[in-house]
Homo-oligomer: A and B are copies of this chain.
Amino acid sequence: MVTSTSPVAAFAALGDETRWAVLEALADADPAAGLTASALAARLPVTRQAIAKHLVVLEAAGLVDSRAVGRERRYRALGAELTALGRRLERIGDAWEARLGRIASIAEHLERG
């Protein structure tokens, strides 16, 4: 797990429609090659610079990968990180539900005396 930053940052990163559009475009692209900021800007209705900023956020959140290839920089979507984040959320939710279950069973015991 290379998940460097806090999950909260990752959720904040996922809390923006444009960023999802970027992620989906990256997921659609050839993972081996990746996509450049310019290529993404061609597909989406915002400037290259705006895309670049989103990519910074996504990379800081660990949801995206980049490598320099000559004069361009190729980005890839990291599905595994998304999966890990999802599992984390799932565990937390389950824990909360479990607590609810315990309370319910205690209440049941009390009722029965």
Contact = CB atoms under 8 A, between A and B. Distances in A.
Interface of A: 8-9, 11-17, 20, 27, 30-32, 77, 79-97, 99-100, 103, 107
A93 to B, nearest CB: 3
A19 B93 CA distance: 15
Q: In the assembly, how many copies of this chain are there?
A: 2
A80 B1 CA distance: 26
A27 B79 CA distance: 29
Contact of A93 (B12, B15, B79, B99): B79
A95 B80 CA distance: 10
Contact of A107 (B32, B79, B85, B89): B32
Given A11-B12, A83-B94, 9 more contacts: A8-B16, A11-B14, A32-B103, A79-B95, A80-B93, A83-B90, A84-B93, A86-B88, A87-B90
